């Protein structure tokens, strides 16, 4: 459903924004289409390759529209780099980790339903604030917020999970 709404919004922008300015076109995409694609990323985060490609295709079409490059030989990856648009999957990943950071440090009114491992010495691949990963027998649970995010959280470097604020944490996970 999100894909359909985002495509529809992009179509409206393409028909009504007849300005040659890439900045205006990019702002229109970022204001009207991307919020539809990024709505509630901690809850809704597709995990199948097909679903991810479908969502990313909207941003790729928006990049072509923004820069006005429709030739087959035009590299969409180069366009995304030129526009400084991060892949939507990376943005959703960062949003999930940021929410987990806030839950871990009690910055949101959500109790932590998991137990921390409390290693006396951090494992080679885990930080000292690693959590037990809840067992999963179904894909919909395996790729839901907690199991998926805990797997990502556990392998973050020690300095990142101990960041002093959500802003610092966000800057560290965005690179």
> Phi/psi of residue 116, each to 5°?
-80, 145
Taking a C-beta distance cutoff of 8 angstroms, is the pair 83, 59 a contact? no
CA pair distance 96, 88, nearest whole angstrom: 12
pLDDT at 81 over 90: yes
Give one DSSP letter per residue of 101-166, joined into a string: HHHHTT-SS----S-B---SS--SSS-TT-BPPPP-SSHHHHTSHHHHHHHHHHTS-HHHHT-SSH
Q: What is the pLDDT of residue 161?
A: 95
Task: Tell me the mean pLDDT in the region 89-102.
Answer: 94
State residue 126's pLDDT score.
Answer: 85
pLDDT at 41: 78
pLDDT of 157 over the 90 cut: yes
Query: Tell me, what's the pLDDT at 123?
Result: 62
In the block, tokens 């009207």 appear at 32
CA distances (Å), origin 7, targets 31, 91, 155: 14, 19, 35
Q: Mean per-residue pLDDT for 20-42?
A: 91
Average pLDDT over residues 77-87: 95
Position 155 scores a pLDDT of 92
Place of tokens 């709505």: 39
Q: How far is it, in rounded angstroms, from Cα 7 to Cα 166?
A: 32
Please tell me the distance from the alpha carbon of residue 39 to that of residue 46, in angstroms, as a whole number: 12
Taking the CA of residue 101 as centre, how many other CA atoms within 13 Å lie in the half-sphere pointing to its CB? 23
Report helix, strand and coil shares of the chain as percent, to nearest 5: 60, 0, 40
Q: What is the mean pLDDT of residues 11-33?
A: 92
pLDDT at 87 over 70: yes
For the chain, the distance separating the N- and C-terminal CA atoms, rounded to the nearest angstrom, is: 31
pLDDT at 122 over 60: no
The model's pTM is: 0.86
Question: Which has more pLDDT, 174 or 86?
Answer: 86
* Token pair recorded at residue 105: 């440090």
CB of 161 closer than 8 Å to CB of 144? no
């Amino acid at each position: 459903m999100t894909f359909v709404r985002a495509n529809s919004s992009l179509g409206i922008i393409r028909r009504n924004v007849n300005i040659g300015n890439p900045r205006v076109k990019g702002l229109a995409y970022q204001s009207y289409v991307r919020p539809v694609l990024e709505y509630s990323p901690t809850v809704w985060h597709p995990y199948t390759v097909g679903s991810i490609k479908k969502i990313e295709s909207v941003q790729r079409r928006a990049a072509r529209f923004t820069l006005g490059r429709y030739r087959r030989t035009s590299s969409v990856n180069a366009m995304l780099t030129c526009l400084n648009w991060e892949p939507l999957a990376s943005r959703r990943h960062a949003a999930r980790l940021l929410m987990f950071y806030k839950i871990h440090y009690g910055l949101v009114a959500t109790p932590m339903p998991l137990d921390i491992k409390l290693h006396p010495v951090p494992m080679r691949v885990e930080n000292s604030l690693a959590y037990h990963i809840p067992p999963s027998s179904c894909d919909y649970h395996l790729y839901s917020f907690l199991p998926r995010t805990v797997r990502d959280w556990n392998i973050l470097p020690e300095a990142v999970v101990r960041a002093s604020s959500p802003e610092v944490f966000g800057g560290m996970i965005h690179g």
